[in-house]
Each structure stands twice: as structure tokens, then as C-alpha cells.
Structure 1
Amino acid sequence: MCRNIKPLFNFDPVVTDEEIRAASLQFVRKISGFTEPSKANEEAFELAVNEVSLIARKLMESLVTNAEPRNREVEMERARARNAKRFGTGEA
């Protein structure tokens, strides 16, 4: 499940709120053990996702680097090539 959490820092274009929320949701799912919480836990689950999102946004805004921003499309192509090599899908 955590493999779905992608690096979000130093990309062009910058990270969106939707990407931060998706990563936060994956994190909360992982540590809670719930893909979907029960009705009894739904409020706590959503609160956790919202709070993790806020903290992640704050982190993204406070990080600094001298490196050039990475291109999302180039990084996705590199990931596809690594996966093709690793899993032998023949798409390299």
C-alpha cells in the first residue's frame, strides 16, 4: 500500500492539494489498517486524513532545494522502464 505514496517535493508543476490528499489517504489507510473505515471510525479517519494533508502541505511549503525541479512525465517514464525491467512486462 505504501508503494502508492509518491515523492511530492521539487516537481514542476508543483504538487497539488489533490496529490497531497491522495498521499495522506494512503498513509492513514496504511497505519490504520483500513481501506475504508467503518461508520463508527469514519469521522476519526477523515479527521486524520485532513490533518495529515495540512501537515504535508506545510512540509512541502517549507522545504528548500537548489536542485532543478523534476519533470513529472520524465519521472513517470523512468518508473515505467524500471517496472518493465523488474517485472518483465516487455514495455521497456
Structure 2
Amino acid sequence: MCRNIRPLNNFEPPATDDEVHAAALQFVRKVAGTTKPSAANEAAFDQAVREIAHLTRHLLDDLVTTAPPKNREVEAEKARARARLRYGA
């Protein structure tokens, strides 16, 4: 999985459209193998981002869980702690 794509399910408040778009963009960049498409491929690239963001929003809206919602700040601190262990202070 791409390191830059973050889990978006089961957060309070729910994932924003900007977060969904960012995840879709990262996915398309990874699959396409480029961060910026050529002019010839820009329309296809942008269309893919829109479609994946749309489908991701539907997925997030339809997923069901019995787990309590996660807190963004708590999850961010856990990620920072993992990074400190991995890369040092």
C-alpha cells in the first residue's frame, strides 16, 4: 500500500472530500507511475482521479462497523510515535 494513502474509514468526523480526493490522487499517481501526467494523458489522469474519488466516497458511506470511531489526533500521535521509532528523534 502507498505510504501516503491513509485509512479514511471510521473517523469522527468522517473523511472530508479533500481527504478522499488526496487518496485518489495518490492511488492514480502510483498506478500511473508519475506525479504529473503529460499533456496527452492529463485528461485521462484527471478522469481517473475523479472516478476513484467518487467510488471511494461511496465505499466509505456504505461500510459498516461496530468499532467506536477513531480520533484523528490520537491516530496522528500514534503515527508520529511509529515514525520516531523508525527514523529516530
User: What TM-score range do you get, normalising by the shorter chain?
Assistant: over 0.9
**Range that drifts further, 15-24 or 80-89:** 80-89
**Distance in structure 1 (CA, Å) of the matches to 2:83 and 2:34:** 27
* Runs of 5+ consecutive residues of structure 1 not aligned to the other structure: none
| Structure 2, unpaired ranges of 5+ | none
**DSSP-derived class of the 2:64 partner:** coil
Q: Is it true that 1:41 corresponds to 2:38 in the alignment? A: no
For residue 81 of structure 1, what is the amino acid of its counterpart?
A
* 1:86 lines up with 2:79 in the alignment: no
Residue matched to 1:57? 57
Percent identity at matched positions?
Answer: 58
Displacement of 1:2? 1.2
Question: 1:41-91 deviations in whole A, cap 9, x for unaligned?
Answer: 0000000000000100010000000110000000000100111011112xx
TM-score by length of 2: 0.97
Amino acid at match of 1:49: V
**Between Structure 1 and Structure 2, how many residues are aligned?**
89
- 2:25, 2:75 → 1: CA distance? 22
Q: How many angstroms does 1:22 deviate by?
A: 0.0
1 or 2, which has the higher helix percentage? 1
Moved over 2 A (4+): none
Aligned-partner residue type, residue 62 of structure 2: S
Of Structure 1 and Structure 2, the greater strand share is in: 1
